[in-house]
Structure 1
Amino acid sequence: MSTIEDLQKIQEYQEYSYRNPGKESLLEKYRIPIQHFDFDYVNRCKDANELEKIIDVLRSGQEGYYPDLLRATEGQLAKLRPNSKCLRQRCRVLNKNDLEKDELDKIANDLNKWVANVSKCNRELEERKSNKTSCNVKIRQPQPQCQPLNLVKKENARRISSTDYGAWDRYDPDTEILKQDLEEEKRRQRVRQARIAEEKTRQDAETFTGTRGPSATPTSTFVMASLEKRPPKKSVTFNRHPTEAEAWFLSERELEKGREFFKNGDYEMAWRSFSNSIASRMNVTNLNNRAVTSLKLKKYSEALEDCEQVLAIESKNLKAQLRKAQALEGLQRYEDALDAVMVVIERDPNNSIAQELAERTRKHCRNVLKNTRLTITEIE
């Protein structure tokens, strides 16, 4: 590097500093100590990132131009990180003057072929388009099937906004899918009922007129005309048993209501909700929940029945066994309660509720024995 080029670099930096007086330099930006711009430090440095920053500062010329130090830093960086971006050489973009004549001819031929192919494709497309417009054959379109007006149900579903995070937290995809399945099942049921009602009306009309088919007498024609003038009767809906999906949905909904009532201390409403859940679909969960609610309401007989039903389904259900013992204690059947709670203790020895219940029932049993008088009679 000549001295003239070094002077030009220094002059460029002075002009840069004059144009940007308050702008932070790279040395201040990278916070590199000035002592690191030394041959000994550069040769000992093992930090490739710091060497890249030093190269950026040296190439900028903001602190002066030091070609020997720059080459030494680049050599050390090449040893530590050969694929560094700082070591990439910039190449000038070639133009047509830099290419040979053979290369230029090849590129020109390729471009001419491409233009010819594009023109040919355009002509073919235009010909196909003109052939289609000349054809006047009308194509019959399929007619859309219209649903009966009485079966169409308009719903104004409110779309949840993307920023309504509270609504998205409350949104349950499984529940929505189940609702859609229920709506589809109800729609199919309405269609079946409408068809049955229509068939029944037709059969009643045929039975009344005594005719079937188009061969009708004038009297029957008059009767049919009078029937047509009458206002149509309202369709009668018959009570039906809920489907399995509907029963599951109703049972789960009532079960959740009962749990909320139970948490709030409203045991009467909780008992009603659990009973509705059992009526829709009986299972171990709602029976157990109604049993514990009955214990809170001191309905010990009903609690005992629910627990026995649970144990009939699952004989190893500890909750039902423990609540059975509590119900027997409430009915003052202490010996049976002790037998029931001992089953729980055998399976779960660390159950504190069962231990306390066993102690109470033992005390009651001892008190009963103390208060019982034994009569001894001699046998001859």
Structure 2
Amino acid sequence: MSADTVFSLQNQSTTIDYRGKVPVEHLDYGYIEKCKDVKYLEQILRVLRSGDEGIYPHLIKFCESHLEKLDPRSRVLRKETPVATAASLSNDEWSQIVDDLKTWQEETKKTETSLKQQSMFDDLVKENMPPIRGSNCSFPLSQTSVPKRNPSKHALPCDYREWDKFDVEKECEEIDGNSVKNDPAAIINTGHPKLKTKVDASLLTQQEKLLLSTREKDKGNEAFRAKDYEEAVAYYSRSLSIIPTLPAYNNRAQAEINLKHWHNAMRDCLRVLELEPGNMKALLRRAKVYNHMGNFQMAAEDLRVVLREEPQNAAATQLLSETEKKMKECQPEPHSKGKKILIQEVDEEDDNNNDETKAEHTACPVEPSQPVGGEESSAAPAERGDMGNAQKKPHSRGDGGPHSDFTNSHQGHWRSRGGSSDKYKVTQESKEKVANGTGKSGSTASVPADHSNNGKETPARGNAGETVNLDAPCGALPPPLARLKNEGNLLFKNGQFADALEKYSQAIQGFIDSGIDSPEDLCILYSNRAACYLKDGNSQECIQDCTRALELQSFSLKPLLRRAMAYESMERYRQAYVDYKTVLQIDTSVQSAHDSVNRITRLLIEQDGPEWREKLPDIPLVPLSAQQHRREGPPSAEVLKARAEKAAIDAERKAEVRFTALKQEGNDFVKKGQYSDALGKYTECLKLKPEECAIYTNRALCYLKLDRFTEAKQDCDAALKVEPTNKKAFYRRALANKGLKDYLACSSDLQEVLQQDPNVQEAEKELEEVTVLLRQSLASANASPAKPRTTVPITEVEGDEEPAGAPASESSRRGEDIIVNLQPTDACQFGQALNAARCSRNTAACADLLASTAPEMLPKFLSTHLDGDNISFIIQALDYHLLEKDPNLVYQHLNNLHTTDRFSVVLMLLEKNERLHVTQLFEHLSAVQSTEFTKNDVQNLANKYI
């Protein structure tokens, strides 16, 4: 198609000319009435509406009505609704709209005026703004206005002849001179101005606070986009000081991450997760912090939660792969699993001169050739005379030794001053001091006798001017025992663990002999000696001393930690896991316990499989008085609610997982034919979900296979209460009733199954078999009158007389050798009598049965025996016999019969001839004259049957 053709098509009128397509003779009533082509009628209607052939309103209306009959949804019939205007509305409606607009306008002006009158925003604006990024220069806002230049002394020439007299150079000099003289000098800031991180918004309303908080957050976003993260943190802090919001916490956490302020970022992430558990951004950023802090296990858990909710999160996927790679690098090799771990002494500076030690142990196992407390670890640094405790505990009382060698969680990483083993070696200077000391023969304890101070103070290696007072008091210990303990502390500090162990043993023996009542001091001595045993690799003795210490002082942190380390070195991982978890209950800040728990968890999963938690000993519950991390205030109501919701979700998830596992196990047992085992699994499932219909039907199947028909029927009844139309429940209850020899109920359930699904061949076969059994049971019941459910045979006589010997409460009718109970007391007896009459096709006996039955009891008696054959048989009995005798009773029976359960379903399944019987009955009933009902009543009742 050429460009000219396209141009011509674009310029054509959008109005289509239909006159060439529709002849004039077709614009006629007769043609339009006979026309059945919808498209052509639409063209005719368009031509009529165009008015080119004249205006014919009646013909247009006739064409529209005919087209509407053929196609009510035709586009030609659509009419556009005009836009509502003041003329289309009533005066009251228009006045209401105008008043609402005026009210809104006045409120907007008042709010704007009140905001402008607030001095808070003016004060914020008047503050000095930060310098332009990338520059150290800033200008006060008061001087930002550009000063006015002096106007030129000479006006510019307006005529061409005056331009020859204009001195350009002189004018430029005057302009340059003015600009130099009048421009203010820039104020140079040598340092970055520090923004206030808090804003006093106590006088503002809630709406004003929200507006100001959002403004500060937006400033932080701008600074973040400009990569000025310190300024972004300041603005986010200002926003949070006004109104704490989740986006501000999340944004500040990301800025802190970029500044590598890991602890600040972790605090913001935790705050977000307290307010909104499951916040994806907070979880992702906390994972980044964990990753940088070396806690790869916790980072991986957070990332998996994020990916579970957002599988397409590329950042989480990449970070998880990196984290798992780092975790694999830190994991021990398979051949070294369960080897002893290396315990290293790390010396730390301490300002309080506490005489307790600080020991760290690494998180990665060592090679088999490196024993715990071996040659390289047989000596420790002695840079100071005291034991260098970095964490002062309220209950320490200045006692020490190795009693504080657990990890400081506030640091988060292993701390040491060097990776070389040289720092554990005893220097030559110390050996010379030992040679002149008072230690016993063969000992290398560096506790020299300094005669200048009468043995009171001993210089510590590393600092010549620093001394250790060996006679310093230690709790309630007498001076000789206190000196032994101090000497043991110094020996342990110098890495002479065997000599330190001897000193602690002497102190313990002296303590016991003296009968001192101070369990805390004895606990410390046992704990210090346990540390010496642990250094020398004697884990068994270490465990014994730690246990003695814990008997003296329950939930003491250091003995628990050392016993856990000893258990782990002996590959007794379950006991180690329990002690580490107890330590974390006491103080959650012990990072080494966190790392050890993660490491042991992997080992226990490999050793015991998924059921590893069930094989653990009981973890003791630590009382609140012994928990050192209970310093924060009580959680808020929002936090408690969030925790409760999270706990409920976790419990529901665990219950769902266990339910699925138990159900699958039960199904597997059924497939193997182990029905007794399957019963137990299904019973456990019902404890978790008592309203699960499938479990009831599955357990009913197991009961049927075990010939426990009563329990099977009970489970089917429970399933039908939950799901009234469950086909499996009906079929299995039918089998249970068959096993209980209740063939009538069995037949009813099987008919219900076939009504729902006529293609169930098993139900058809069972129904045929049960029908035979039902007839046999009825025949045997008649043959043996001694059975409880058979009635007494009564001979039919003339008149109203009853034969002698018959019970006064019963009467019967015999037809074709079938005895019919005419006074049933329950549904079972009524069903037997009705089936007996129906099997013999004795409609007269059925009529007598209905005559002796109260109409309001009929739905109750038929509730379990309702089927198409019974309804058809009852209709025939009412029509052939009872209608002539008592039409009022027939009307009452019909008025109650349709209220029976499942009546509408059974009525739909009636055959054509059976429906004809129903129609004939209502025709005969409407012809009867009665004072209790009218023809209109009969017609209304017939509508419920036909």
Q: TM-score per shorter chain, which class?
A: 0.3 to 0.5
- The two structures have a TM-score, normalised by structure 1, of 0.40
Greater relative contact order, per chain length (Cα 8 Å cut-off, separation 6+): 1
- The two structures have a TM-score, normalised by structure 2, of 0.18
Higher helix share: 1
